[in-house]
Amino acid sequence: MAVVVGRRPGVFVRPVCMEERRRLQRISRAAEDAVRLRRASVVTMSAQGQPVPDITSLMQVSADYARDVIHAFNEQGFEALDPRGSGAPPRPSVP
C-alpha cells in the first residue's frame, strides 16, 4: 500500500466583495488595536491571493495563527477581527 504524502491544501479567505475589501483596507491602515490590525491584514492578504506561507513570512505570524484568522473570518465575518480577551483568534465552536 502506497502512502501519498502531500502538502496541506491552501487556506484562503472566502470571496469578499468590493465594499468588504475597502472596509478591510481601512481597518488595516487605521485600526488602533494591534490585534485587529494584524487580523485585518492577514485577511486582506489572503483576499489578494497570498498563500499562508507568504502571509506568515511577511506578517511574522505562525501558520496556525494565519489559518485560524482566515477560518474565523470565513465563519464569522468582521466579528472575527475583534480581540476577545486572550488575544487569540476565536476558535470555531464544537457542536
Going residue by residue through the chain (95 aa), what tens digit of pLDDT does each one get?
655 555 556 889 999 999 999 999 999 888 899 999 999 999 999 999 999 999 999 999 999 999 999 999 999 999 999 987 544 555 555 55
| pTM, to two decimals | 0.78
The total number of residues written for the chain in this structure: 95
Radius of gyration of the chain (CA): 14
- Determine phi and psi for 37, rounding to 5 degrees: -65, -45
Chain Cα centroid distance, residue 94: 20
Q: From its phi and psi, is residue 61 left (phi > 0), alpha (psi between -120 and 50) or beta?
A: beta
